[in-house]
Amino acid sequence: MGGQGVVTAGILIGNAVTAAGTNAVMSEIHGMSQRGGVVVAELRIGDVYGPIIPDGAADLLLGFETVETLRALRRAGRNTTVIMSTERIVPFTVSIGDAVYPDVEPVISRLRGDGIKLSLVDAQKLAMEAGNLLSSNVVLVGAACSAGFVPAQVSDLEGAIVEMFPAKSVETNVRALKLGMGAYRWGDQPH
């Protein structure tokens, strides 16, 4: 969602990976990000030309919001790893009573039963622990990292954080990165 730092997370990974010497191509659809709409960034790493990931071919689906992750699953395939923040942002259509925010637990159980690798990360809690709710996107980058999807050293990511963020927030963001890495290592229990 707009405001969650989706594009920044993509740029962070892109900067780290290119600093480590690998090609990266990113696309972003953010036209309505300020108006409570959905933001989707696609990042392709390696020997590729275009920024659009074919349907079903994503290696990782990094979800910043629960319903939007479920919505994005149609772009994912059987082999896509899903790392999902437990954050829930209720859409306007639900608040005015026109729709229902689904009961997510049974959906997650069924997906796991079908063999989809799905991990949950309490990105908000970890961001608060790191020192700022706004670093929840960096928490998720950390999780993506320790899940093995970012071909770069931690030092490359830290270097990208220093380059991209104001000096006074660097420490918080590095902490968020490390907490995210730890969260994934512990498996899928929200911490």
Partner 1 sequence: MTRERELLAEAGGAHFILGNEAVVRGLVEAGVGVAATYPGTPSSEVGDALSDIAKEAGFYFEISVNEIVAVEVAAAAAMSGVRSFAFMKHVGLNVAADALMSTAYTGTRAGLVIMSADDPSMFSSQNEQDNRRYAEMAKLPLVEPSNPQEAKDYLVYAFELSEKTHSPVIFRTTTRTSHMRTLVRFGPKLPPRQKGEFAKDPANLLLLPATAYKMRSELAGRYEALRALAEESPLNAGGQGGSDVGMITAGAAYNSLMDAIGEYGLKADVLKLGFPLPLPTELVARFLGQHRTTVVVEELDPVLEGQVRSLAQLRQIKTAIRGKMDGCFPQTYEYNPDVVAASLAKAMGFRLHVRDTVVIEEPLPPRPPVLCPGCPHRATFYAVELVAKQLRLKNAVYPSDIGCYTLGVQKPFGAADYLLCMGSSLGTSGGFSKTTDQPIIAFIGDSTFFHGGMPGLVNAVHNGHRFVLFILDNRTTAMTGSQPNPGVPLNGMGEVAPDVPIEDVVKGLGVSFVRTVDPYDTRSTMIAVREALGHDGVAVIVSRRECALLMDARNRRTGSRKAYAVDQDRCTQCLNCVSNFSCPSFYVDAAGLVRIDPDLCDGCGVCAQPLVCGPRAIEVRAP
Binding site for partner 1 (CB under 8 A): 1, 10-11, 14-15, 18, 23-32, 34-38, 47-52, 54-57, 67-68, 70-71, 73-78, 80, 90-102, 107, 111, 116, 163
- Closest distance of CB 68 from partner 1, Å: 7
Closest to partner 1 by CB, 163 or 171: 163
Q: Is the dihedral of CA 4, 133, 90, 191 positive or negative?
A: positive
Closest to partner 1 by CB, 182 or 188: 188
- Closest distance of CB 63 from partner 1, Å: 13
Closest to partner 1 by CB, 31 or 148: 31
Closest to partner 1 by CB, 11 or 123: 11
- Closest distance of CB 37 from partner 1, Å: 4
Query: For residues 39 and 68, what is the distance between their CA atoms, to the nearest angstrom?
Result: 9
- Closest distance of CB 182 from partner 1, Å: 26
The b-or-e profile of 2-30 (16+ CB within 10 A means b, else e) is bebbbbbbbbbbbbbbebbebebeeebee
Query: For residues 129 and 3, what is the distance between their CA atoms, to the nearest angstrom?
Result: 20
Q: Note whether 184 and 121 are within 8 A (CB).
A: yes
Q: Running DSSP on this structure, what letter comes out for residue 166?
A: -
- Closest distance of CB 50 from partner 1, Å: 3
* Max CA pair span of the chain: 50
Amino acid at 138: V
Closest to partner 1 by CB, 95 or 155: 95
